[in-house]
Amino acid sequence: MNKKELVGAIADHCGTTQSQAGEFVNAFCEVVTNELKKGDKSSVALPGFGQFIAKHRPSREMRNPSTGQMMMSKAKTSAQFKASASLKDL
């Protein structure tokens, strides 16, 4: 399912127009993104569905595959989704 199909499904389910449903989807994505940008301990939990988590990955030593030279990777924070137990059971 792509974004257009998701917007259409939400519009049908909620009885709204596709433009309103599109605004809902965009607002949801923006709120989750802004919350995860806050840092390492931030998350957005949706009971019965799952949790979006900001996960910090520290800098580490790695090998460049083309040259074989050891180098340090950059520390970064990435987004992770952890499904709830009830979603996993489906």
At 90, the pLDDT band (50, 70, 90 cuts) reads confident
pLDDT greater than 90 at residue 3: yes
Q: pLDDT per residue over 42-67, tens digit each?
A: 889 999 999 999 988 899 999 999 99
Where are the strands (E) in the chain, listed by range?
43-46, 50-57, 61-63, 70-72, 76-83
